[in-house]
Amino acid sequence: MSEQIDEGLKSELQKQGVFVMPLEFLYNWGRRNSLWPLQFGLACCAIEMIAAAASRYDLARFGGEVFRPSPRQADLMIVSGTVTKKMAPQVVRLYNQMPDPKYVIAMGACAISGGPFKQGYNVLKGIDRYIPVDIYIPGCPPRPEALLHAFMELQKKIDNQKLTGPGQARHLDPSQPGEYPVPAFGAHDLEPPANCSVWQPPAVERGGDA
Amino acid sequence: MKTAVEPYLFLVIFCGVAVVFPVIPLLMAWMWRHFFQPSKPGASKNAIYECGLDSTGEARVQFKSQYYIYCLIFLIFDVESIFLIPFAVAFTGLPVGAFIAILVFLFLLIEGLVWAWSKGGLNWVN
C-alpha cells in the first residue's frame, strides 16, 4: 500500500506538516500498541510472566500490561506452561471465546512441545496442535526478557500484517475460521489428537541404507 | 446595539459536542466492522459462560427464601458464643453473682433455641 505514495511527494508534504500514511499503518500501529493479554497461567512459566508484567521488567512499556481476566476483552493468549490433556479443551475454548483479532504466544518448552514432560501420558505435546501459535519462546522457563522479546516480535508481526489481498491477517480473511474445534476426552487420548488444519505431524525421515 | 446572546446557548453546544464526540469513534468502529472485518460467530464464542469450562445445569437456581430465618438464628448464636468465651476464660476468678447472671443468659439462649425449634425454624424445608 505504501508503494502507492510517491516518496518525494511524501517528504514534501511532511515539510509542510502533512503526514500521509496508509490506513494499514494506522490500524497496525493501534493494534500493536494495545495488546491486552489474557490473564491465565498454567505452570511455572506463569511466574516469569508475572515478573514480566511487574515493575522490574514492566510490560507496560510495550502497552501490554492490561491483563484481562475475561477472554472477551483479551487480544493475546500467552500459553505459559505445561498444557495437560485435562486442560487442553479449556485452553482451546478460551481461545475460541476471545474476539478477533487474537494472537497466541507459546511460552516455554512445555507449551511448544511438552518439554521435559513430553513422555507423560497426560501432557499435550504442544498447544500448536489445536490453535495457531504466532510466537514460540524457548526456555524452561524463559526469562522475562525472553517474554518481552516475544512481545516485540509479535508487535513486528502485527506491524507487517496486511489488511487486504493475499496473505492478509487471519482475522480479516473470511475463509479463516474464527473458532477451532474443542477436543474432547476419548477412550485413550484427546479426540481428535490434533487439529489437522493447524498442525500436521512432521514427516519422519528415515536414515538411508547405511 | 449588541445582539442578545442566549446565556444557555453554550450549554446546548456543550451537549451537542458531548453526544457527537463518543458517537464518531463508535461509528468508525461500526464502519470498520461492516466494510473490513468479517463476522465470525461460533458456539463457544457466543457462550454465556467464559472461563473455559462448559456450563452445566440450569442457570436459574431457585432456593427457598425461608433460608434467612436459619441464617438469623445462626448469627444470633454465633454472636452469643463470643460472650461465653470470656466468661469461660475468667471462670475461676468470678463471684457467684456473675455465675448466676451467665446461667440466666444461657437459660434465655436455650429458651430462644427451643422456641425457634418449636416454630420449625431449624427445618430446612417447611
How far, in Å, CA of B81 to CA of A47, rounded? 43
Give the cell for residue A51: 515478573
- A182 lies within 8 A of chain B by CB: yes
Query: Any idea what the Cα angle at residue A15 is, between residues A13 and A19, rounded to 5°?
Result: 50
| Residue A1 pLDDT > 50 | no
Distance from CA of B84 to the nearest CA of A (A): 45
Sheet with A103-107, strands from edge to edge, namely A76-80, A103-107, A135-137
State the DSSP string of B11-74: HHHHHHHHHHHHHHHHHHHHHHHHHT------TTTT-S--SSSPP-S-S-----TTHHHHHHHH
| Residue B121 pLDDT > 50 | yes
Give per-residue pLDDT as tens, A86-139.
999 999 999 999 988 899 999 999 999 988 998 989 999 989 899 999 999 999
Distance from CA of B5 to the nearest CA of A (A): 38
Give the cell for residue A14: 511532511
| Chain A environment of B52 (Cβ under 8 Å) | 71, 89-91, 93-94, 97
pLDDT band at A174; cut points 50, 70, 90: confident
Of A72, A94, A178, the CB nearest to B42: A178
| Chain B environment of A99 (Cβ under 8 Å) | 45
Of B42, B43, B52, the CB nearest to A94: B52
pLDDT at B21: 95
Distance from CA of A100 to the nearest CA of B (A): 8
Taking a C-beta distance cutoff of 8 angstroms, is the pair A110, A81 a contact?
yes
pLDDT at B32: 85
Place of cell 500436521: A200
Taking a C-beta distance cutoff of 8 angstroms, is the pair A135, A105 a contact?
yes
**Does the structure's ipTM exceed the value 0.85?**
no
| Chain B environment of A71 (Cβ under 8 Å) | 50, 52
Cβ <8 Å between A178 and B52: no
State the DSSP string of A124-156: -S-GGGTS--SEEE-SSSPPHHHHHHHHHHHHH
To the nearest whole number, what is the mean pLDDT of chain B? 86
| Chain B environment of A94 (Cβ under 8 Å) | 51-52
Of A89, A163, A172, the CB nearest to B38: A172
Of B36, B38, B42, the CB nearest to A96: B42
| Residue A31 pLDDT > 80 | yes
